[in-house]
Amino acid sequence: MHILMHSPDKPVTQVLAQYAGQKGTSRDEMKEAYSTIAHKFHSFANENIAHKELKPLHKGRKYVSLGQYKQKGNFEAKIALNRKNNSLPALKQQEEELHRRLVDANIYLKRQEIGEYSLELHSSKGLFGKKHFITQSDIDRKQNSLLEYADKAGEILQSDTSDIKKTINAYFTQLEEHSKRGKDRQQPHFPKEPVLKVKPGIFEQWKNNFNDYLKEIDKNIQNAIKKLREKHFNIKDKISNHPETVKQKKEQENKRQEIKSQIKFKRQKKSGMSR
């Protein structure tokens, strides 16, 4: 790393002369002073930095010119791509895309919970007392709804939600494992619908744990939406301050002033003719 510094009060030659401790120091002595400064810096770097953070140079590496280095790193292509991405049409396209994603987020990524309606604990009286059960259609409907929610979140936020979907499936599998399959005939309220027998305590515990998990998901999603809003604001700010936008605004303002001047001139001419 090279650091070029300029002192507003003293030229470099004077600084080196002072470092060498002499007035009227010759060029060779100043070079020696500069070499001493460089040696001290490299010694400090080797002792305190190189062995900790920087990788050592590979032996046998040949010197590469700046032009070759830039060509190898595809610098020109990267600069051209950066210019293209920061052009006004590209920025406007990015702004439109972010705006669309934010609208979708407000529509589709609302707070999720198990809900009493989706997973309701039913009960019926049997020969051996009261039985509690949940319907398979309620389970399937809520599970599919949450999986669709995860897919939509991944699409809008452009993130991987496979882990979220795995956890959703695991929670519903856990609920079925702690339940028993009921017979259709034993449930007069749902004669044609498969049901799962479940103890109220287990169901409430499972539902509370899952609701806590969904709250955590909602929190992470809201943070992601907040980042989207910040990115959208930054893009809009770039568009507003883009040189082409500033130029267009100036041209529009000049055109407005020109029209106003023409209208004023016509009114004055008309007023003079009427007199």
Confidence of residue 185 (pLDDT cuts 50, 70, 90): very low
pLDDT at 129 over 90: no
Domain check: are 39 and 129 in the same one?
Answer: no
* 37 found inside a domain: yes
In a domain? residue 178: yes
Give tens-digit pLDDT for 16-53: 666 665 555 677 777 777 788 778 877 777 777 655 55
CB-CB contact of 197 with 229 (8 Å) = no
pLDDT band at 182 (very low <50, low <70, confident <90, very high): low
pLDDT level of residue 70 (50, 70, 90 thresholds): low
Residue 10 falls inside a structural domain: yes
Same domain, 37 and 118: no
For strand 122-126 and strand 180-181, is the pairing parallel, antiparallel, or unpaired? unpaired
Residue 69 lies in a domain: no
Q: Is residue 77 part of a domain?
A: no
Q: How much is the pLDDT for 188? A: 53
Q: What is the pLDDT of residues 90-108, one digit of tens each?
A: 889 899 999 999 999 999 9
Yes or no: say if 108 and 177 are a contact pair by the CB < 8 Å rule. Answer: no
Structure tokens at 161: 């939600």
Residue 70 lies inside a defined structural domain of this protein: no
CA dist 108 and 218 (Å) reads 12
Domain-located, residue 238: no
Q: In what order do the strands lie in the sheet with 180-181?
A: 122-126, 129-135, 195-197, 180-181
Please give the residue range of the domain that contains residue 166. Answer: 98-105+113-223
Task: For residue 218, tell me if it sits in a domain.
Answer: yes
Total domain count, the chain: 2
Residues 120 and 219 in one domain: yes
